[in-house]
Structure 1
């Protein structure tokens, strides 16, 4: 793996594109992140084993979540944390049980809406099936097909008012992807959804006892714009932040006298309430084991937390030129002008004055521009894992992220410079001394 700070913006975007393509599901994202970290010298730990207590670089995976950290030389029971929090999942669709449906001579996939996708954006795209399957022997396998499915839009000849009334999709009836024509029982059997998925993992469908499989856009990420300054891709919310954190943790050298941590959780799009989500116990359990290895008392651990910071990195909104009235009239972020500092008076984002000052120090140290995001008062904003981690652990938390257009679309877009800016800012967050 190349040195993160040595990658040019062009190289970074090419590598991010590969990372997104290799990560069609949260389970793939966690596995690919761990694999890249191991290649960079991290030790892959299992939750069922004793963990080493000596300084080193470590990574652990739980389902679709991955945590990595660096214990520097000289770390002690009061050494504070610098946590970069992100999430691996994206809105879309997930396979239901009895996932093969035959209707009107077509083979279709039975799917359930996952999170809050822009449903219309999934129409007329070639789609993949990807996720994990568990076989009878208890083994877990990652599975990912090529482009095998599509949700076709109804022709305008059969809906003459669609351009006036808009596309309105019933989540049950009208979002089921097609995979094949069921001209015969044999043809239908060959297009069995679970069989397609299991064969992509090299196992038979009759061996599958359980699965978590999602639908993913099969189109590769691509740059565009008059100066090639934009990136179009699926799952930029929030693999852009996971990737920046991955690059930054590889560059963390322990020089700041802190414990840098990359914490990429699953299920953020559902509210984070799971064993691998930010509202679950994963991060706290890992911190318990880290500080136990450092022989910290309860008081010493409280001291460490008091000096710690959590940077909650999740994508935010760029101003949309066609819907400018939906944005705050004074704060109008643009692509390639730097990552967002996300602010909300009602603590949907956790940024406060000390947090804003910390972020300003980090960006100055990295030579990175930044811009503020705040919601229009008439349009409630979303939220992130920031308030969840701040509430669970009491860590001082700041919300940031790259600005996007088309958030929660099957294909989002960002500015290419913002990916490099976020990487550099997170590297500074992990490595620089802070006065706040």
Structure 2
């Protein structure tokens, strides 16, 4: 068998994996990811488009538009109009399963101990969140000059401020046999232990509970009275790392789906000759909770943006429909690598292995949007670029997940492909991926965008 490895690739793949880890560490929530991507695009010369103003786009322009404050759509205009050569689209998502902090979250416990009231976001593996140093991150909403236009600031405590402690083995001797976890009672993190609180009134020590807005204010520099709301999440305070005997594995939170965000962004920014077609990077929020939000893949926002690009180039509704018919999309989202301890959970013949290449995903129920025809496109691209490609389908007796692919394709009748890099421990607080897979994935997206 021909080897896809060489010493020069080892260094490139390792450096690219370290760049991914840095990117993930700087993006603890979808709001931070969107702000980070927007900043990188702006530094690369991309112009920010205002959705409430008329757009003027010329051939080869580079532009982006935020989706709320948690998603981004960016594109490089082609030399020709989109209805002549179509859009080449890479879609991914910015959100991650975890725990979101509820309003008025402080719950008083024994002594003066405080726990945070949280709710589940998406489908995290609960047990992996226990006994971890947890930080808090997200966006904080503050009063604006206009009641209809409040402002927001980003918050990341970076340092750990909370922990979800396990119950002692001696009080839960069945813990290693599997114990049900209640997300309303068992996964609420402790943020303050018993003892005298800071700045509490001396005459009412036992009844005083500090205000969470005061905590936020102390970390953001805004006044507590100016805070009107927040979208805050827990995240692991320790960053990602390379692991394995040869540092060939990536251990990090949020690999699903920031591997795709990172690879797609780097592919879009890769310098190449101007293409006839348009290249698009669409980063949606809310995939982990169904995509049915204004900034999710189920919204008409994305279709409207593509149509506005056609209008800005002098076209109309008919030209937009022609552009969609000429377009193709990769729905980029993580895949399942064969787990060494549970190999039986995979299909008998389609068994992706970490560091053996990115994965083409398909499903008879179209939970993954790949068809035999669209999959052929990816297979030929990878073959011509000497990129190994694996395939994944679910066991027939196990229900799998889905992606943005079927959702976008339902609203926009274009050809589409589902693919991603293989992971273990998907939806754990720390997931495991391959250094080489991520680099090959990036190269694959470059081929797709620039071929």
Q: TM-score range, shorter-chain basis? A: over 0.9
Residue of structure 2 equivalent to 1:112:
119
Cα distance between partner residues in 2 of 1:287 and 1:190: 50
Cα distance between partner residues in 2 of 1:177 and 1:135: 25
The answer to whether structure 1 residue 148 and structure 2 residue 161 are counterparts is yes
Quote the offset at 1:252 in angstroms. Answer: 5.9
Quote the offset at 1:190 in angstroms. Answer: 9.1
- Root mean square deviation of aligned Cα: 1.9
The answer to whether structure 1 residue 159 and structure 2 residue 172 are counterparts is yes
Cα distance between partner residues in 1 of 2:185 and 2:199: 23
Q: Deviations over 1:336-392 (max 9, x none)?
A: 111110010110001111111110122124321110001001101100000001100
Q: 1:308 aligns with which of 318, 322, 327?
A: 327
Taking structure 1 as reference, are residues 78 and 219 closer, same or farther at Cα in structure 2, changes over 3 Å only?
same
Q: 2:134 aligns with which of 117, 127, 140?
A: 127
Quote the offset at 1:312 in angstroms. Answer: 0.1
Q: Please, what TM-score do these two structures have when normalized by structure 2?
A: 0.91
The answer on whether the counterparts of 1:252 and 1:430 sit within 8 Å (CA) in structure 2 is no
Residue of structure 1 equivalent to 2:63:
58
Residue of structure 1 equivalent to 2:203:
none
Q: Deviations over 1:252-307 (max 9, x none)?
A: 64644111000010000000000000001221121121011112233322222112
Quote the offset at 1:197 in angstroms. Answer: 3.1
The answer on whether the counterparts of 1:107 and 1:191 sit within 8 Å (CA) in structure 2 is no
Cα distance between partner residues in 2 of 1:368 and 1:192: 54
Within a 5 Å distance, the mapping from 1:39-50 to structure 2 comes to 39-50=43-54
Q: 1:181 aligns with which of 172, 193, 197?
A: 193
Quote the offset at 1:32 in angstroms. Answer: 0.4
Give the number of aligned pairs. Answer: 427
Cα distance between partner residues in 1 of 2:271 and 2:311: 22
Cα distance between partner residues in 2 of 1:307 and 1:131: 38
Q: Please, what TM-score do these two structures have when normalized by structure 1?
A: 0.94
The answer on whether the counterparts of 1:340 and 1:370 sit within 8 Å (CA) in structure 2 is yes
Unpaired stretches in structure 2, ≥5 consecutive residues: 1-8, 145-149, 201-207
Within a 5 Å distance, the mapping from 1:271-290 to structure 2 comes to 271-290=290-309
The answer on whether the counterparts of 1:81 and 1:304 sit within 8 Å (CA) in structure 2 is yes
Within a 5 Å distance, the mapping from 1:234-313 to structure 2 comes to 234-251=253-270, 253=272, 255-313=274-332
Quote the offset at 1:136 in angstroms. Answer: 1.1
Larger Rg: 2
Residue of structure 2 equivalent to 1:136:
143
After TM superposition, the structure 1 stretch with the greater mean CA deviation from structure 2, 236-245 or 357-366, is: 357-366
Cα distance between partner residues in 2 of 1:310 and 1:198: 43
Cα distance between partner residues in 1 of 2:122 and 2:143: 29
Residue of structure 2 equivalent to 1:89:
95
Cα distance between partner residues in 1 of 2:414 and 2:230: 35
In the TM superposition, structure 1's runs of 4+ consecutive aligned residues that sit over 6 Å from their partners are: 187-191
Taking structure 1 as reference, are residues 75 and 199 closer, same or farther at Cα in structure 2, changes over 3 Å only?
farther
SS of the aligned residue for 2:231 comes to strand
Residue of structure 1 equivalent to 2:4:
none
The answer on whether the counterparts of 1:44 and 1:58 sit within 8 Å (CA) in structure 2 is yes
The answer on whether the counterparts of 1:181 and 1:187 sit within 8 Å (CA) in structure 2 is no
Q: Deviations over 1:51-83 (max 9, x none)?
A: 232131111112211110011233354330011
Unpaired stretches in structure 1, ≥5 consecutive residues: none
Cα distance between partner residues in 2 of 1:133 and 1:39: 25
Cα distance between partner residues in 2 of 1:10 and 1:431: 23
The answer on whether the counterparts of 2:78 and 2:275 sit within 8 Å (CA) in structure 1 is no
SS of the aligned residue for 2:330 comes to strand
After TM superposition, the structure 1 stretch with the greater mean CA deviation from structure 2, 37-46 or 64-73, is: 37-46
Cα distance between partner residues in 2 of 1:333 and 1:244: 19
Taking structure 1 as reference, are residues 78 and 208 closer, same or farther at Cα in structure 2, changes over 3 Å only?
same
Quote the offset at 1:44 in angstroms. Answer: 2.0
Q: 2:231 aligns with which of 197, 212, 222?
A: 212
Cα distance between partner residues in 2 of 1:370 and 1:240: 17
SS of the aligned residue for 1:301 comes to helix
Q: 2:366 aligns with which of 335, 347, 355?
A: 347
Cα distance between partner residues in 2 of 1:414 and 1:191: 41
Cα distance between partner residues in 2 of 1:79 and 1:292: 16
Taking structure 1 as reference, are residues 221 and 280 closer, same or farther at Cα in structure 2, changes over 3 Å only?
same
The answer to whether structure 1 residue 196 and structure 2 residue 215 are counterparts is yes
SS of the aligned residue for 1:321 comes to coil
The answer on whether the counterparts of 2:83 and 2:324 sit within 8 Å (CA) in structure 1 is no
Residue of structure 2 equivalent to 1:101:
107
Cα distance between partner residues in 2 of 1:116 and 1:74: 43
Q: 1:35 aligns with which of 35, 39, 49?
A: 39
Q: 1:15 aligns with which of 13, 19, 25?
A: 19
Quote the offset at 1:161 in angstroms. Answer: 1.8
SS of the aligned residue for 1:8 comes to helix
Cα distance between partner residues in 1 of 2:83 and 2:410: 22
Cα distance between partner residues in 2 of 1:361 and 1:102: 60
Quote the offset at 1:187 in angstroms. Answer: 6.4
